[in-house]
Amino acid sequence: MAIAASRISQPLTTDLARVEDELALVGQEAGPVLHEAIRHHLSTGGKRIRPRIALLAGRMLLGQAPDDLVHFAVVTELVHAASLVHDDTIDEAGTRRGEPTVDSRFGSHISVLVGDYLFAQAAIITAGLGSLRLMSLLAATIQALVRGELRQMSAAYKIEASAANYESRISDKSASLFVLAAEGAAVLAGVPEEEVIALRRYGQQLGLAFQIADDVLDYTGSEDVLGKPAGSDLANGVVTLPAFHYLRTLPADAPERRIVEEGGEATRVVEAIRASHAPAYALGRARALARDAVTALDAFPLSPSREALASVGEETVRRLS
């Protein structure tokens, strides 16, 4: 029997409010221009899913959310926010979540500095938590983000190369942040290694599912939902699971393949992918990964926080149903 959501919703709401209070202070001492850019970026929305995972995992293990756990939840959001700023700068993206990016509003020089500042702030907070292992996990996460971006750049407009490195790429660029949140909470709680490993698996599988779900939404969602035009990934040469699954069904000389590999106008290909079985195929993969993430939670006693973590996994693919 599922545990009533109300038993965790209010504590989590309070925890997240504490996270927001700390995020509001970031950059105050950085000077007016950088502070304004940071405030603009951190206030453009988002579900704070990574802090949510860290807080729920910590509550599941500790039964409470001590200050160190809240500080660590802030770290997870700062690292995520920094990665988005750098991604937008590299992609020269004009909007995110329907709002101007830091790059488009303040320029690339400021946006690079904002990303660097947020990474540095995350490191400062983590150092204050007093765990060398947690500091190493943070460093490994930032390293993975860079590695994932390089994988994506090297495979741009290349169908077969994208297919070959897709899961490694999204593991680095997306799942690493979920691993940071889930595993990091376990490290901070000081639980036995088998529990750390279980939460690492939860974060890894959930992060993969989340990114594949986003990749499906890039074809099936509206611009209002996405905050950017549908098919933006393909237009920028990023060939994701729905795209390469569809393109692999075509002859080698198919015009759709040529359009992608030559960087042509992708609207026709996007519409073809949207109308094909490829989004459903990718959704099936995301569902399987989300189920695996939830199964990893079997290592822990049933509790409101565990149920809430399971719900995060279910919500990852429910938004596509």
pLDDT digits (tens, 9 = 90+) for 158-209: 999 999 999 999 999 999 999 999 999 999 999 999 999 999 999 999 999 9
- Domain spanning 6-318: CATH superfamily: Farnesyl Diphosphate Synthase (1.10.600.10)
pLDDT digits (tens, 9 = 90+) for 2-29: 444 456 788 899 999 999 999 999 999 9
pLDDT digits (tens, 9 = 90+) for 94-103: 888 778 999 9
* Sequence-ordered list of residues with C-beta below 8 angstroms from that of 268, at least 6 positions apart, any chain: 256, 259
Sequence spans of domains, the chain: 6-318
d(CA 245, CA 55): 36
- pTM of the model as a whole: 0.94
pLDDT digits (tens, 9 = 90+) for 121-150: 999 999 999 999 999 999 999 999 999 999
**3-state SS, residue 284:** helix
Percentage of residues in the chain with pLDDT exceeding 90?
84
| Rounded alpha-carbon distances, angstroms, from residue 299 to 36, 60, 201, 216, 295 | 44, 11, 11, 30, 8
Q: How far is CA 186 from the centre of its chain?
A: 19
Structure tokens at 27: 């950059």
Residues 79/176, Cβ–Cβ less than 8 Å: no
Question: pLDDT-based confidence at 237, cuts 50/70/90?
Answer: very high
In the beta sheet, which residues pair with residue 96? 99
pLDDT at 47: 85
d(CA 45, CA 99): 9
